[in-house]
Structure formats: C-alpha cells, structure tokens
A and B are shown apart, each in its own frame.
Chain A
Amino acid sequence: MSDYATTQTGHDPRLALPPPGAAAWSGAVGWLLRFLHQPMSRFIIKRSGYALLSLFLLSLTIFFFVRVTGDPAALLVEPGASPGDVAAIHHQFGLDRPLWVQYWLFMVSLAHGDLGQSFYYQTPVMGLYLSRLPYSIELAAAAMLFSLLIGIPAGILAAVHVGRFWDQFGKLFTLLGLSMPAFWIGLLMILLFSVYLGWLPSSGAGTPWHIIMPAFALGWYFAAAHMRLTRSSMLEVLGSEYIKLARLKGLPQTLVIAKHAFKNALIPVLTLAGINLVLMVNVAIVVEYVFAWPGIGRLLYEGIAFRDFPVVQGVVILGGAMIVLVNLVIDILYAVIDPRIRLGN
C-alpha cells in the first residue's frame, strides 16, 4: 500500500469534482450545486445558520424580558405622563393585543430597521446609533491596538526570560491589570493627567489627545489578559517538538523565537483578541461615560439616565446583532486562514 496517496482535501483534484449527478446540471443550478459541496461553503452556511439562530434568540430575549418585568407601557411612556396617556400608549403600541401578535409586529419593525424614536432627541433610534457608531469603533480599535502592542511583546519577554526579572514584572502587571476596574483607571488618569498635570483633556472627542486616556483605560485590562496568554502560549510552544528540532538544526535563538515560535504562539492570542474585541463593548460603556466619549456606550448611558427606553432597547438589540455578526466574520476568517479548521474538527 502506497503511503503517498493519502493527502488531505484541497489539493487532491479528485475531491474537488462535484458528485456525479451535479455535472449533469447546466448553468447556474449546476454551479450552485457544485458550490454547495465545497467544504468552505458548507462551513459558511452552517455558521450563518447559527448566527441567525442567535439573532432570533436575542430578539426573543429582549422582547420577553421587557414584557415580563413589568408593564412595558411604563417604559414607553415619557416621564410624567397621565393615566390617559398610558392607555393611549397601550393601544398605540398594540400592548393590548395577544403576545405573539406583539412579537410579530416587533420583528416586522426590526426588519425594517425601525427601532422607534428617541424621547430625548426626538430622532429615530437607528439614525442616532449609526451616528455614534464610528466613535465607538475608533475607541475600540485604539484600545485593542494598545493592548496588543503592549501585551504581546511583554508576554514574549516574560516567556523567554521565564522566572527572571521580566517575568516577575509581567506577573505584577497582569495582576494589577486584571484587578483594577477600567473606569477607576480612567478616573485616576483624569485626576493625574487632567487635574494635576493639565496635559490631557478629560472629556469629549476631537483631537488625538482626546483618545489617549480612554484608549488606555479601556485597553489596560485586555493588555494584561493578552500578556498572560501570550506568555503561556509562548512557553507551551517553546517546549514543543518542532522548536526542539529547530534548535537541533542549529538555528540561532533569535530565529527560533522570531520565526518558529512567534507565529505559532500568536494563534491563541489572536483568537482571544477577537473574542475580547467583542467584550470590549461592555467595558466601553463605562469608559465612554467617564470620558464623555460620544460613542454607543455613552448613548446607552444617556438612554438609561434620561429614561429614554427606545434608545436603551435599540442599543442593546443593535449591539447584540453587531456582535453576532462580528463573531461570524471572525469564524469565517479563521477558516480561510487555517485550512485545518474548515476541513472539519
């Protein structure tokens, strides 16, 4: 039995051919059938299915929770309204109709992108959300960049010098970073850099100076998390057989680390970074509040503070949907990069 013929798919031409029947179909249908048989397409469809399910459950959850925790009319009505107004709201929003009808109406308006109107701003929620979104993206990008630029080199240093100074320093950094709430760091930074030193602006957006402190406060926790994972991933890689072989080949230490170890060690870290990008949304809410950064997080806070329910509901739904979509894109990207993933775990 030859041991040469057992390569995996993707490079063996025989496996890229469509099953016998499909070849008989011509044109678009045939192409579609062939397309559907590629492992990559199957993967995309499967993941998209899960994403859709998540979106569905998300809407169900929000709908359910709003209704079950009290009279939704109390939320939908502007503060300081009379009982007559409340009754009118009941009728207007169909709150006196059966539950499943309500849900259907809810989904229909969602599909149209209609999330209601903000009480405070008197503009559609969707428009409000989209106008604030760029700021949040900017802040998240800056914070993530900061966390990777600090976290990854620190982790590599700690792993290469394990047990010695850089490692101890790294451990301390990790410990503090994971224990200090982001908003407290933000407050302390304002105290130091705005109030005492007067170097940096404490609120708003506009110049590059404005983004420094919020990005730092937001990224600090994640820098620590990334550093910890880089260190342990690097240590694991450094103990692996292929690193041993690289050393046996006589390669210089810098090449071993920079080429062989680095790329492999980075994989789990980037995975974590992708997950963390999504988690950043949480922490961003409070950081944006502290620094009055005009993003989605601050919008949510305003909605809560001003009892502007459509905004609150809209932000949570849109935020959740965005996260589901981002996760889907990340999953697909990973399958593109690493052939081992799409060929089925």
Chain B
Amino acid sequence: MSTPTDVIRLPSPQPRLAAIGRIRFRDYPVIPLTILAIIAFVAIFANQLAPHNPEVGILSARFKPPFWLHGGSTEYLLGTDQLGRDVLSRLLFGARISLVVGFTAVIFAGAVGTFLGILSGYLGGWVDQVVMRITDTWLALPALTFAIFLAAIVGPSMWNIVIILGITYWTRYARVIRGEVLSLKEREFVRLAIVAGCSKRTIMRRHILPNVINSAVVLGSLMLGVVIIAEATLSFLGVGVPPPQPAWGLMLSDGKQGLMVGYWWLTVFPGIGIMLLVLSANLLGDWLRVKFDPQLRQL
C-alpha cells in the first residue's frame, strides 16, 4: 500500500524560499553562453594565445604526447601531430574556422531561406508553388550527401564550403518562415496596411519581416550545431576546409593515422572542441526556442 501523493494535511508551514537568486540564474543560459564566449575569445585571440604556428611543424617533434605523459613536454602542451605541428595551437586556430564557417553559413542560409519564405508565404500563387516544390524536392534529398557531392565537384576551400552549406540548408528556414507568414497574413495589422494602400514590398519589409526575425534567429541557433557538424564531416572526408588550415574535422582526419597505434590525443581533443561548441549551440537554441516562440516548440 503506497502512501497517497495527492493528500496533505495543513497546516504545515510553507516557507517562502529565497527564490530570487535562483530565478535569476535560471533565467539566462549561463553554461552555453560561457562556453561560447570562451571559444569565441580563443578564436579571436588565437594569434596571441597560440604558442606555435599551427600550419608548420618540425618533423623531429612529431607524435609527441600531451605534457603530462611520458615523452611529452610543456613546449607542446597537448602534443603534436604527424607533421610535428602543435595540437593546442591548431585547436585554437581551428576554433576560428569552425565559428566563422558556422556563423556565416547559418546567416547565409537564413537570409536566403527567410527571403524566399516571406516571398512564398506572402505572395502565394505560382511563386508559392514554385518555391514550395523546390523546397520539398531539396528536402527530399539527403542534405549532407548533396553537400559532399557539391564539395567534391567544386573542390575544397573554406568559402566554397560556406556557400555550399548555405545552399544545402536554406530550405529548413523557408518552410518554417513561410508557415509563419501565412498566419501573419491574417492578422489585423497586415490587413490594416493593405487597406491603407501599402505596396506589397513595403508590407513584406516593414510588417512581415520584423515579426519573423524571431523565428529565424531561433532556427538559426538550432541550425548552428548541424552546420558545424556538417563542416567537420566535410573536412574529415577531405572535401571541406583544405590543409594545412587547422579545421577540427581535418585534425580528426589526421588523427586517424595515429589511431591504431594509440596516439589518442589527436582524436580526443579536436572532438571535444566540436562537441563543446555544438553542445552550447544546441543548449542556446533550446533556450531561445522556449523563450521566444512557444509555437516553435514542435521543432
């Protein structure tokens, strides 16, 4: 016989807990913002922070383990790779690449997707049909595979990757934004604007756009993690950011060489970097989603 959980006997003093400090803490996404801040800091000041040149190594110093292991030295804190390049320095500069590619691609995809979403949702008719057909087809194709395909054709370079990722992921935005625009169209203030004689372009720019920016930002934060993993995957496969740039995915690819002989530091550290970055992007995205747009909770 279990004790019933829905019955209590008052009076029992219900202390008013000092909820103030707690609520403040819980109101902001402290952990992801901190991690992101650290990574951003590191990326910006990589030139000052990195002890060595990330792209050039000394062959005689290859495959050194981290400093706390036998054979390591404090000169190369996290060890070196197969070309004698310092892992720590490469990590720091790699952060820059991940962040730049990630944010740029997300903004690019977001801009294109939002633009087409607004056009398609507001103008309706054949514009809507065309854009939606394209979007559906695009979404039917495996995104990453297509990105790999494109990257293989055009050849590896950082900006190529940004463009390719933007092209691959804009459809996610278009769908969601279009849905929002469709419901916005029915709202009073839009109707008022129409009645007042505003041109379609004006309405889209001044009334619709500001109201969908929220969703676009939330979606962007959710896509950030996806894009970063996509870039890492492309670099890992050799069709992303080209060597000798220290993209984290590329570091993992190099690390594969030393894996079977147990040179674990080449695999573990870049992976941790990717994981932390994606983790904070995801946490931030979740927080934004709950805070800004309850409708997007379905995402």
Q: A179-B282, A195-B260, A195-B262 are in contact. Are A283 and B144 (CB under 8 A)?
A: yes
Q: Are A196 and B255 in contact (CB under 8 A)?
A: no
Say if the beta carbon of A289 comes within 8 Å of chain B.
yes
| Residue from the list B134, B152, B232 in contact with A304, Cβ < 8 A | B152
A-B interface contact total, Cβ < 8 Å = 126
Say if the beta carbon of A300 comes within 8 Å of chain B.
yes
Say if the beta carbon of B51 comes within 8 Å of chain A.
no
Say if the beta carbon of B275 comes within 8 Å of chain A.
yes
CB distance from B15 to the nearest CB of A (A): 21
Q: Are A320 and B278 in contact (CB under 8 A)?
A: no
Give A69 to B256 CA distance when docked, in angstroms. 31
Q: Are B264 and A191 in contact (CB under 8 A)?
A: yes
Q: A184-B252, A187-B271, A195-B260 are in contact. Are A278 and B142 (CB under 8 A)?
A: yes
Say if the beta carbon of B145 comes within 8 Å of chain A.
yes
Give A176 to B262 CA distance when docked, in angstroms. 24
Q: A304-B238, A324-B140 are in contact. Are A195 and B259 (CB under 8 A)?
A: yes
Q: Are A184 and B142 in contact (CB under 8 A)?
A: no
CB distance from A94 to the nearest CB of B (A): 19
Which residues in chain A, 18-64, are within 8 Å of chain B measured between CB atoms? 50, 53-54, 57-58, 61-62
Q: Are B142 and A323 in contact (CB under 8 A)?
A: yes
Give A54 to B225 CA distance when docked, in angstroms. 28
Q: Are A316 and B145 in contact (CB under 8 A)?
A: yes
| Residue from the list A57, A175, A184 in contact with B271, Cβ < 8 A | A184
| Residue from the list A57, A58, A286, A323 in contact with B236, Cβ < 8 A | A286
* Residue numbers in A under 8 Å from B7 (CB-CB): none
| Residue from the list B137, B233, B260, B274 in contact with A286, Cβ < 8 A | B233
Q: Are A327 and B142 in contact (CB under 8 A)?
A: no
Q: A191-B264, A281-B142, A324-B140 are in contact. Are A300 and B252 (CB under 8 A)?
A: no
Q: A196-B262, A304-B152 are in contact. Are A175 and B282 (CB under 8 A)?
A: yes
- What class of interface size applies to chain B in its complex with A? 35 or more
Q: Are A69 and B145 in contact (CB under 8 A)?
A: no
Give A180 to B130 CA distance when docked, in angstroms. 37
Say if the beta carbon of A1 comes within 8 Å of chain B.
no
Q: Are B145 and A282 in contact (CB under 8 A)?
A: yes
Q: Are B267 and A191 in contact (CB under 8 A)?
A: yes
Say if the beta carbon of A248 comes within 8 Å of chain B.
no
Contact with A along B156-185 (1 / 0, CB 8 A): 000000000000000000000000000000
Say if the beta carbon of A75 comes within 8 Å of chain B.
yes
CB distance from A92 to the nearest CB of B (A): 20
Contact with B along A65-101 (1 / 0, CB 8 A): 1100110000100000000000000000000000000
Which residues in chain A, 317-332, are within 8 Å of chain B measured between CB atoms? 319-320, 323-324, 327
Q: Are B136 and A179 in contact (CB under 8 A)?
A: no
Give A324 to B140 CA distance when docked, in angstroms. 6
Say if the beta carbon of A285 comes within 8 Å of chain B.
yes
* Residue numbers in B under 8 Å from A301 (CB-CB): 237
Say if the beta carbon of B148 comes within 8 Å of chain A.
yes
| Residue from the list B149, B239, B264 in contact with A316, Cβ < 8 A | B149
Q: Give the nearest-CB partner of A194 in chain B.
A: B260
Q: A57-B137, A304-B237 are in contact. Are A187 and B259 (CB under 8 A)?
A: yes
5 further contact pairs, Cβ within 8 A, besides A57-B134, A316-B145:
A178-B278, A183-B252, A184-B274, A281-B142, A320-B141
Q: What are the nearest 4 A-B pairs in CB distance? A: A282-B144, A179-B279, A184-B271, A57-B137
Contacts A/B (CB < 8 Å), 18 sampled? A62-B149, A175-B283, A178-B225, A181-B233, A181-B274, A190-B260, A195-B259, A195-B260, A278-B142, A289-B237, A301-B237, A305-B238, A312-B149, A312-B152, A312-B153, A320-B140, A320-B142, A323-B141
